[in-house]
Chain A
C-alpha cells in the first residue's frame, strides 16, 4: 500500500504545524455553514480532521492509482485524432478516480458543489498528485480557473459553470499565450467583437495552451479596437463548440500526459467575465498568482519524487563493497537534496497560508457590506444571509481588516513569486542531482529519474520564468515588505536556537548591506542586474527563519536548520560580495561580454 500523505512525515509535519485557525474561521464564516451543508465543519478540530482525512484519501489515490500509471502516460502522451485530443488512458482513469472522490472543486464554495477548503490544503493535494504524475496535475490543477470564475464572474455565470467544474464534468484551460505574446501578455492580439446581437465573438490564435482541449476556456482577448496595451484586454469564458479548432499538439521534452494545444478561434461565441479592460490587469494577474502557487506545488512534488528515487537507488546500488550512500560525496548530495526539499516546502506552505489569510480577509470585508469594487474579492462574499456571521461593529471591523488586507496583499504579491522561483529551481537541481546519483542508469529510460528531470524543466519556465518571478518579487524585496516580514519572524519566540539565530541575523546584515548598496547606486539596470541575487538572498533568509521556527519543537528539524544555515551562509556571502564589489560601471561591460570581439 502506498499513500503519499501517510508516507511523507515532512508533509504531515507541515499540516500539523500550519496555524490554520484564523484562516478556517474566516473561510467558514465562523462555522455557520454546517447549518446548510452536512459536510461543513462544526469547529476548527472538525475542519482539521476533515482536511487530514481528505489528504489521506488523495494520498492513497496518488500513491496507489496515479503513480503506477505515470510511466505509461509519459510514453503514450496525448494524441490529436480528427481534431480532438485523446488523453493517455492513465490520465482519463486518474481523472475519473479524482472525480469519484469529489476532489474536483477543492477550494470552490460549497453552494457550487465545492469543498471550500483553504489553499494550504489544496496545495498539499496538488503536491501529492504531482509527485505521482505532474502531467496529471496540469489537467487536475486547472480547477484553478473555476476559482477565477468564482471571484470575478457574475452570479449567473457562476451558477451555470461552477457546479460543472466541481462535479468534474468539465475541465478547463487558461488561454493567454499567443505566438507573439508569451511573457509579454499585453501584446495579445486575439480579437473579441461585440455583435449587434449582444454576443461577443472571438477570432484569432492561441498557442502553448495547456489542456486547451478542456471544455471551458478562459480567454484573454482584445475587446477594445485600436488599443495596443494591457488596458484593451478583457477576459472571456468560452465553452467548446465547433467554432474553435485545435490545430496542433506540441511535441514536448516532458509532461507528455498534459496536452499543449494550438487553438484557432473562428467567430467563437463567448461570455464576458467581469468588466471590460480589466482582463489582464486584474483577472489574469489573479489567475496567474493562483497558477504560480500550483506550479510551485507541482515542482515540490517532482522534487519529492526525484529525491526518493535517489535515496532508494543509493541504498540498492552496491559499489566498492557497499551501498553508494556510504560514499561521502553521495551522502552529501542526498543531504543537500533533502534539506532543499524541506526548506522549499516550508516556504511553499507559508505562502499558501499568506494567500489564505488574504482571501479570508477579503471575503470578510465583502460580507461586512463593502460595496465591492475596492476589495478585489468582495464578490466571493455573495452568500446566503445565513452564511454571514454578524459583527458587533461592522465599521470598526472593516477598518481594522482593511489595514490587514493591505499587508497580506503585499505579502502575497511578494511570496507567490519567491515560492515559485524557489520550488521550481530547487526541483531542477534536485532532479539533476538525483540523476547524477543514478549514474549511467539514470540516463536510461529504465529508471523514473530521467522523467522527473524532463518534467521539472518546464516548471521554472511556464506561468512566468524564474527571471519574471524575480521581476515580480524585487519590488517587495527592496521596498521594506521583506524586511518587515523578517522582523516578524525574528521577534517570534526562538529560544531553542540562540546560536543559529545569531548566524541568521549576521547574514541578514549582509543582505541589508547589499540592498542598501543597490538603492544607493540608484540605477535601473544595476538594480535589474543584481535583482536575482537580492531575491535569492531573501529566499534563503525566509527559509532559514521558517526552519528555525520548526526547529523549536523538533530535534530532526534542528539538524535540518543547522545544515541549511551553513549552506546559506556560503551562498549569501557570495551574493553579497558580488553585489557590494560592483557598481554601475559593471553594467557597461555586459553587452561587450556577451559577444566575441
Chain B
C-alpha cells in the first residue's frame, strides 16, 4: 500500500509581524501592508505529512485555494519535499467563507482519488476560525482528530483489508485539550488538524529550491499523475532523494471552478452564509495587573467581575 497524504495549506497575511498600518479604518485587513506567508500551522501539518512519508513511504499532495500568487506556498511545499501540488484558483472562489472553502477543497480531494490522510493546520492566523478542517472531514464523511500535538502511531493496512481497524489501517494521535491531553485512534482514511506543538518544520532543501523556484501553475482539467512515475517516458526525473529514490519534477496543477465541477451557488460569496457584521480594533488600555487572592471569596469576586463585564456567561 502506498500512503497517500493530502495537506491543505493557506497563504495568509503575516499577522505575527504586524506593523502600524495593518488594519484599515473600516476594521478589515490591509493586505498591502502585510507580507503574505505560509500559514504557520499548515507548515506543521506539512511537516507531519513529510515525516510519515519518511517513515512509511508514499506520496504527499498539497492543495491550496487562493489567488494566483498563492502558488508561492505551493513552491514552498515543493522546496520541503511535497510530491505534487494543486492550486485551486478562480475568480468564482473569491470571498469564500469556511463553508464555501471546505466545499471546494472536498471536490478537489475527491478529484485526486483515494487517500489515507488529510492533514491541515489547526487554524489560520488571519481568520483564526479553525473550522475548515472539521468541515472538510464532515463533508468527506471521514473521522477527524483535531488539535493534534503528536502523531503516536500509524499502522498501514493492506489492500485485502487485513489491517486492524479496517482495510487501510489506523492512526493514533494525541490532541491538546483544555487541562491535558487526549489520545485517540481512528481508522484511515481520516483527517487531522495539527498544532504548532507537533514539530519544528524542516527548512527548504536548497536543491529543491533551485529545481522548483520557477515552477508555474499549469491549468489542467483532468487529474493525471502519470508524470510522477519515474518509469514513465514523460516523467522528468529531478534528483535522487536522501534514500536514493528518483524524484520526478512536479507540476503546479491549477484547477478552476469548471475543472472541479462546482455548483456556482456553493462557492465564493454566494456560497458563504457568513457575513462580517462588525470588527472592533481593540486596544488594551489596562496596563497593571490585579492580584486575585487564592481563596473562595477572591475567586467568587473574580467570577462576578468577569460576568459583569460579559466576559463570562
Number of interface residues of A (CB under 8 A): 23
Number of interface residues of B (CB under 8 A): 18
Is A100 touching B206 in the complex (CB atoms < 8 A)?
A: no
Is A101 touching B206 in the complex (CB atoms < 8 A)?
A: yes
Is B204 touching A57 in the complex (CB atoms < 8 A)?
A: yes
Interface residues of B in 206-229 (CB under 8 A from A): 206-211, 213
Is A54 touching B17 in the complex (CB atoms < 8 A)?
A: no
What separation, in Å, do the CA atoms of A188 and B90 have in the docked complex? 71
B2 within 8 A of A: no
B202 within 8 A of A: yes
Q: Which single residue of chain B is at the shortest CB-CB distance from A54?
A: B206
Interface residues of A in 7-44 (CB under 8 A from B): 37-41
CB distance from A216 to the nearest CB of B (A): 18
Contact of B205 among A1, A38, A50, A100 (CB under 8 A): A100
Residues on B with C-beta less than 8 A from A115 are 206-207
Residues on A with C-beta less than 8 A from B249 are 38
Is A102 touching B213 in the complex (CB atoms < 8 A)?
A: no
Q: Which chain A residues have a beta carbon within 8 Å of chain B's beta carbons?
A: 1, 37-41, 49-50, 53-54, 57-58, 60-61, 65, 97, 100-103, 113, 115, 167
Contact of B203 among A38, A39, A61 (CB under 8 A): A61
Is A54 touching B209 in the complex (CB atoms < 8 A)?
A: yes
B292 within 8 A of A: no
Is A39 touching B239 in the complex (CB atoms < 8 A)?
A: yes
Residues on A with C-beta less than 8 A from B204 are 57, 101
Is A57 touching B207 in the complex (CB atoms < 8 A)?
A: no
What separation, in Å, do the CA atoms of A50 and B211 have in the docked complex? 10
What separation, in Å, do the CA atoms of A54 and B209 have in the docked complex? 8
Contact of B211 among A39, A54, A97 (CB under 8 A): A39
Is B209 touching A38 in the complex (CB atoms < 8 A)?
A: no
CB distance from B230 to the nearest CB of A (A): 13
Supply 24 A–B pairs (Cβ within 8 Å), ascending by A. Answer: A38-B211, A38-B239, A39-B207, A39-B210, A39-B211, A41-B210, A50-B210, A53-B209, A53-B213, A57-B204, A57-B206, A58-B206, A60-B203, A61-B203, A65-B203, A97-B203, A100-B202, A100-B205, A102-B205, A102-B206, A102-B207, A103-B206, A113-B240, A115-B206
Per-position binary interface string of chain B over residues 285-300, scored 1 when its CB falls under 8 Å from any chain A CB and 0 otherwise? 0000000000000000
Number of A-B contacts (CB under 8 A): 54
What separation, in Å, do the CA atoms of A51 and B211 have in the docked complex? 13
CB distance from A101 to the nearest CB of B (A): 4
B278 within 8 A of A: no
Q: Which single residue of chain B is at the shortest CB-CB distance from A101?
A: B203
Residues on A with C-beta less than 8 A from B210 are 38-41, 50, 53-54
What separation, in Å, do the CA atoms of A65 and B242 have in the docked complex? 22
Given contacts A37-B239, A50-B213, A167-B242, contact A101 B17 (CB under 8 A): no
Is B203 touching A100 in the complex (CB atoms < 8 A)?
A: yes
Q: Which single residue of chain A is at the shortest CB-CB distance from B241?
A: A167
Q: Which chain B residues have a beta carbon within 8 Å of chain A's beta carbons?
A: 17, 202-211, 213, 236, 238-240, 242, 249
Given contacts A37-B239, A38-B236, A38-B238, contact A50 B203 (CB under 8 A): no
Residues on A with C-beta less than 8 A from B242 are 167
What separation, in Å, do the CA atoms of A468 and B204 have in the docked complex? 41
What separation, in Å, do the CA atoms of A332 and B169 have in the docked complex? 69
What separation, in Å, do the CA atoms of A53 and B75 have in the docked complex? 13
Residues on A with C-beta less than 8 A from B205 are 100-102
Q: Which single residue of chain B is at the shortest CB-CB distance from A100?
A: B202
Closest 6 CB pairs of A and B: A39-B210, A38-B238, A101-B203, A102-B205, A38-B211, A54-B206
Given contacts A38-B238, A167-B242, contact A50 B209 (CB under 8 A): yes
What separation, in Å, do the CA atoms of A41 and B213 have in the docked complex? 11
Q: Which single residue of chain A is at the shortest CB-CB distance from B243?
A: A167
Residues on B with C-beta less than 8 A from A38 are 210-211, 236, 238-239, 249
What separation, in Å, do the CA atoms of A490 and B210 have in the docked complex? 39
What separation, in Å, do the CA atoms of A54 and B206 have in the docked complex? 6
- Beyond A37-B239, A39-B208, A39-B211, 18 additional pairs, beta carbon < 8 A: A38-B239, A39-B207, A39-B210, A39-B239, A40-B210, A53-B210, A53-B213, A54-B209, A54-B210, A57-B203, A57-B209, A61-B203, A101-B204, A102-B205, A102-B206, A102-B208, A113-B240, A167-B242
What separation, in Å, do the CA atoms of A489 and B207 have in the docked complex? 37
Which of B17, B203, B236: most chain A CB closer than 10 A? Answer: B203
What separation, in Å, do the CA atoms of A545 and B35 have in the docked complex? 41
Q: Which single residue of chain B is at the shortest CB-CB distance from A105?
A: B207
What separation, in Å, do the CA atoms of A240 and B192 have in the docked complex? 43
What separation, in Å, do the CA atoms of A58 and B204 have in the docked complex? 10
What separation, in Å, do the CA atoms of A102 and B249 have in the docked complex? 17
Residues on B with C-beta less than 8 A from A49 are 213
Residues on B with C-beta less than 8 A from A57 are 203-204, 206, 209
What separation, in Å, do the CA atoms of A38 and B215 have in the docked complex? 12
